[in-house]
Chains A and B, each alone.
Chain A
Amino acid sequence: MKDTHAISLKVNGRRHELVVEARRTLADMLRHDLGYTGTHLGCEHGICGACTVILDGAPVRACLVFGVQADGADVRTVEGLADGEQLSDLQQAFSDHHALQCGFCTPGFLMLAEAYLADADRAPELSTEQARELVASNLCRCTGYQGIVDAVLATAPARRPHGNPAGG
């Protein structure tokens, strides 16, 4: 008898209701139950970060979170970054700075950086050292990281403070 749960969550602003097994990871649920295959699995043990998504504002490894833990949550995935056909500033910067080759780790880096840059207080002040430290959270086997660091640095100044000035 499977241990299943009925849950409801929002992905990129769209509501989904589904029944998942308790042990099913958020990554498998996003990919195989909901069709968000842009979230990639590189190690399934939390090291590589390719599966990084934004869960209620925080970047998380979707391989280390169970789907049921996202019940009631707001999830953002790489599919939600672009505005229609228009790439986001961060996505465009990745292309401009040759921050991707095979592109498998790219969604994880995008969501990691997106979560960081969404913090209005720190984004415009991002230093090279901070950008490197941020990028060091995930693994890329193709680029040598320079393009990723440059893309994040290039995006940061343009991110203007927004949202609740009191910090929620």
Chain B
Amino acid sequence: MNVIGARLPRKEDPRLLRGRGRFGDDISAPGQLWARIVRSQSAHGRVRELDVSQAVTAPGVVAVVTARDLPPGLVIPVRLAVPGTDLGRYLQPVLAGRTVRYVGEPLAVVVGDDPYACEDAAELIEIDIAEAPAVLDARTAPEHVAAELTAGYGDVDAAFSGARHVVRIELAIGRHSGVPLEPRCLLAVPDPDAGSLSVFGMTKVPVFNRDLLAGLLGMDEALIRVHAVDAGGGFGVRGEFYPEDFLVPWLAATLARPVKWAEDRAEHLMAVNHSRQQHHRIAAAFDAEGRITGLADEITHDNGAYCRTHGVAVPELTVAMLPGPYRVPAYRGRVRVVLTNKTPCGTYRAPGRFEGTAAREHLLDVAADQLGLDRIELRRRNLLTPDELPHQRPITTLRTDLVLDTGDYPALLAAAAREADRLGYHALVEGSGRGGPGTGPGRTGGGRLRGFGLAMFVEKSGLGPHETADVTVSKSGAVHVYSGGTSMGQGIETVLAQIAADALGVDPGTVRVVTGDTAAQPFGAGSWASRSTVVGGSAVHQAATAVRQRAVELAARMLEAAEEDLGLEGGSVAVRGDPAIRLTLAEIAQGAEPAGGYLRPGEPAGLSARRRFEVSHMTYPYGAHAAVVEVDPETGQVRVLRYLVVYEVGRAINPMLVEGQLRGGVAQGIGGALMEEFGYDDAGQPQSISLAEYRMPTAAEVPPVDVLVSQDAPAPGNPLGVMGAGEGGVNAVGAAVANAVRDALGLAGAVGQLPLTPARVRALCEGREGAV
């Protein structure tokens, strides 16, 4: 039975299709109170007065809490620390005390019987803030630099001074966020007699958050249980430890009552991590043949008001991953992390890569035109070749050495070019009357301009250093997997079931997967950084393989046969050559019971195994994106007509899910390339606090996405040969769309800024090129 590689229907689907999912706000506890967070409406200022006296006496209110009521000095620590950086002064307090630094910063919490009553009472709190000037432009705020990071190697200055060609562009990336469809929700249920606490709604890294919460509350971590829930999308933002992740459990423990908090969309858009906003000044040096001799990027990263759990991981990833799939003899990436009076930042799917890929790939298109080379040919000349891999760069990121492990980058680029041609992408552009790249824009009948854009990239995935899985066969013969990964919609239950079923030779339908429950799997490292299939899957593979070996060992004992004469297939261990002599996994599990009669003294009962997969390096998938766009120069509207992703995953456990990840990523990328942006007015008031203002793509803006999943380069660092697929769909969309729009408009320079909103595109059409 070939379970791996099969397009099996998802185990998650039936409950979700029936409305039987268990999302955070679907769960309630008897006697539950509701919390409402009161947030700053000023971007920057000193809190002169916070008068809660009217709110406290409002109907249905049980408590109102401000910073004065909390243990002193509480701040949210960094989860992903970059060695050599000290961000202690920039961490966010749980509730603001004397100073507020962004609109949306938590100031107080109202707790009451009913969410409507809590909102009423919240409006009775009188807040007097002495407003101070707001810092909103990171590029003009050198005194607000929280950290400066550099990655690189080689003699960059010599490369540029001796270059035949030097090409420079500037590119700004807009401020985006993951915006999952389910807002955040937390329910904390205390058991005062047991001294324990149950928490519902912490996803992504539940064990880390449990341990952090235990430390902040002064509790034993084993007395806190984070329960598994469904999560309505993660994308990097959900499940990090936010101020609310302390407040809600602390309130529950303090009030000795269950407390629920369900955020509304407006607070989500100003409270949850933002991401992406960077300004790049990027330059490349080339020799006479168009080979890159040096690459340099000066980046300003707008991190918002505080450093949160990701610390400076996003800017670090930006400079670490910037050289991408190319042979770059000398490189310097420098990023200044600037604090501004905006919502603090963290990761959003393909953090640092959406930004860096856009800057690098846009630069290469401008360079190709200046050097008089075909844009794909310029890339081909500079791509690392298979014989140059593994390729170690003297760069570290996320505490790992950057080693591009395997692949054939030129072959994938050629495959992407062929596929785009086969699908008629070029014909679609040429058919609009254009004479080819560099000959000026082609127009359709309606005066619209079409263009083709391509971008190449390297992703990263499978971040360790470890993941744990338990696999158990119960007495009925069902297989239970307890993984440290978590489910946020990516289909992890299905994928892990396929991996376990493959190792055990059972029907995946008999495998049940539990994720995100800290009691069921207390050593999990969570789902993020495209790590679940790689490290979580490898742990399940190892544990299931160990169960298989144990089943054969026990069966040998039970059948009085030699282990080497036994084989496991179809859920039974049988004597090879005499399949009538067999034991089902159920029978073996029964034999492994304490009173089963087959255990030796001191042997642990049960047919189960716990295994920890450890890995010190990430694995690096890679791909190419291609887009055909149509620009209306009158309105500035950009439509993506066709989109192609070609992506290497090593091995696809379930190709349907890989394609789904890629297609969904493209949709988010189109949002970031054309539509989505958190704007602020001059006073620091956010201009995008509803989904009418933060415009995400609908089916009208996302074309059918062509996907070619490549399985030519199995990852060498894990037993399954898999690479992550979660972020390859979004990584290069900004780059491909920017290149396509530039092609359509026939620009000599760069587009200047993403997203390419109608106003910016009109400005480009009117010759205000590169306006930022």
Residues of A within 8 A of B (CB): 21, 23-24, 31-32, 36-45, 47-48, 50, 77-79, 81-82, 87, 91, 94-96, 98, 100-107, 110, 132-133, 135-149
Contacts and interface: CB of A to CB of B under 8 A. Distances in A.
Contacts of A43: 265, 690-691
A139 B656 contact: no
B490 A101 contact: yes
A143 B180 contact: no
Contacts of B264: 44
A41 B14 CA distance: 20
Chain B's interface size range is 35 or more
Given A95-B9, A102-B489, A40 B14 contact: no
Contacts of A37: 19, 23, 25-26
Interface stretch (B229-237, B508-516, B561-569): B229-237
A85 to B, nearest CB: 9
Interface in B602-648: none
Contact of B660 (A21, A23, A79, A101): A101
A94 to B, nearest CB: 6
A44 B692 CA distance: 12
Given A38-B20, A103-B12, A105-B181, A45 B698 contact: no
Main secondary structure of the interface of B (DSSP, over half): loop
Given A23-B116, A104-B23, A145 B17 contact: no
A45 B266 CA distance: 10
B700 A141 contact: no
B585 interface: no
B705 A146 contact: yes
20 contacts: A31-B25, A36-B19, A41-B183, A95-B17, A102-B233, A102-B488, A103-B21, A103-B232, A104-B182, A104-B489, A106-B16, A132-B700, A135-B698, A141-B180, A141-B668, A142-B181, A144-B660, A144-B665, A144-B702, A147-B663
Given A95-B9, A96-B9, A110-B17, A132 B699 contact: yes
Contacts of B21: 38, 103-104
A101 B664 contact: yes
B696 A79 contact: no
Most buried by B among A107, A110, A138, A145: A145
Given A45-B265, A78-B18, A149-B699, A40 B667 contact: no
B666 interface: yes
Contacts, number: 171
A50 B700 contact: no
Interface of B: 9-10, 12-14, 16-21, 23, 25-26, 28, 116, 178-183, 230-235, 264-265, 488-491, 656-657, 659-660, 663-668, 690-692, 696, 698-700, 702, 704-705, 729
A135 B699 contact: yes
A107 B232 CA distance: 12
Main secondary structure of the interface of A (DSSP, over half): loop
Given A41-B25, A45-B265, A78 B699 contact: no
B660 A50 contact: no
B13 A141 contact: no
A138 B230 CA distance: 21
Contacts of B664: 101, 141-144
Contacts of B704: 146
Contact of B231 (A77, A102, A144): A102
A143 B660 contact: yes
A31 B115 CA distance: 13
A102 B180 contact: yes
A132 B657 CA distance: 22
B647 to A, nearest CB: 14
Nearest to A50: B181
